[in-house]
Amino acid sequence: MRFSTIWKKLRIGSLLGQQYPGRPEPASREREAEVCALLARPPFGITDVADAALPLYDRALTHRSYTNTGEYPLAAIDDNERLEFLGNYILDFIIADHLYGEYDLPPGEMNRRLQVTRNTKLADIVLQQGLGIDSAIRRRGQVLTASIIADAFEALIGAIYLDRGLTVAREVVLAIFEGEIAECDTRRNYRGRLQEHAARENLGGIDYTFRQTGPGSCPIWAARVAVGGASLGEGEARTKQGAAMLAAKEALRRLGEE
């Protein structure tokens, strides 16, 4: 399907407003609190979730092994497979649209960089960035695999799109993938460039330290980078990777390389 067609469908979905397909499933207060806490964390930063939207997010984090277990009387539980299908295309569209708009690349190169959204890579991103999705997935008698984590990630993107629209979904996706996308560009991969410069000039080891700042409902990451024991750069962003990239950029500037 052409991206223009996908875009038209996304625009129509956005204009129709918030929609929560399927019947709502009751959830415990503990589960609601768990889902809301996950959404409030960076890089999602989604608070004041409507009661009507809670089952949507709950479903996004429910593996099929958990469904139809009798946990909820008079109601079968929907799993996240339909949301995962939607989220997969939303995610690919956002990344492809960003690559097209920000990078002057041939189609083959854009396709190669789009591979950051493949399942095994998504699971790595969830775990490395500490997004918390893996610990919120409901399943029963099923080992937590990379595929299950990736599917829940995509389903959550689908749920965010349905609840908050394409603009918020784009903000969340780009906040998560900014480091991965930057690493595709040698000029914007400031961490890689700093590492190469420090090795070339024999400046010593590079050390990053991180802390969270901002309000508890939507904190941001602050990073500081030291080269050879000397603090040279700081940065703040919604993700650790983004903050580290900005800190490295400042360090390069102070070293005369940016």
- The stretch 30-54 carries a mean pLDDT of 92
Most confident of the ranges 17-31, 45-59, 71-85: 45-59
CA 91, CA 68: separation in Å to the nearest integer?
Answer: 29
Domain match, 55 and 140 both: yes
Highest mean pLDDT among 10-24, 144-158, 177-191, 202-216: 144-158
- Could you say which of 183, 214, 238 is where a domain stops? 183
- Given 134, 151, 183, the domain boundary residue is 183
- What CA–CA distance (Å, rounded) separates 38 from 43? 10
User: For tokens 């493949």, what's the residue?
Assistant: 118
Q: Say whether pLDDT at 239 is over 80.
A: no
With cut-offs at 50, 70 and 90, classify the pLDDT of residue 191. Answer: confident
Same domain, 212 and 157: no
State the pLDDT at residue 234.
94
Residue range(s) defining the domain that contains residue 27: 3-183
Burial class (CB in 10 A: 0-12, 13-18, 19+), 10: buried
Domain boundary among the residues 157, 183, 209 is at: 183
Q: What is the CATH number of the domain that holds 241?
A: 3.30.160.20
Return phi, psi of residue 140, to 5°: -140, 120
For residues 50 and 165, membership in a common domain is answered with: yes
The total of structural domains in the chain comes to 2
The pLDDT of 54-72, averaged and rounded, is: 82
135 and 235 belong to one structural domain: no
Question: Do residues 137 and 235 both lie within one domain?
Answer: no
Mean pLDDT of 73-97: 83
3-state secondary structure of 142: coil
Q: What pLDDT, in 10s, does the model give residues 144-170?
A: 999 999 999 999 999 999 999 999 999
- If asked whether residues 98 and 124 sit together in one domain, one would say yes
Contact partners, residue 107, CB within 8 Å, separation at least 6? none
In this structure, are 166 and 60 located in the same domain?
A: yes
Q: What is the pLDDT of residue 244?
A: 86
pLDDT given for residue 108 in this prediction: 79
The whole-chain average pLDDT of the chain stands at 82
93 and 143 share a domain? Answer: yes
Instruction: Output the domain CATH number for residue 96.
Output: 1.10.1520.10
Both 13 and 74 in one domain: the answer is: yes
Report the range out of 87-101, 154-168, 193-207 with the highest average pLDDT: 154-168
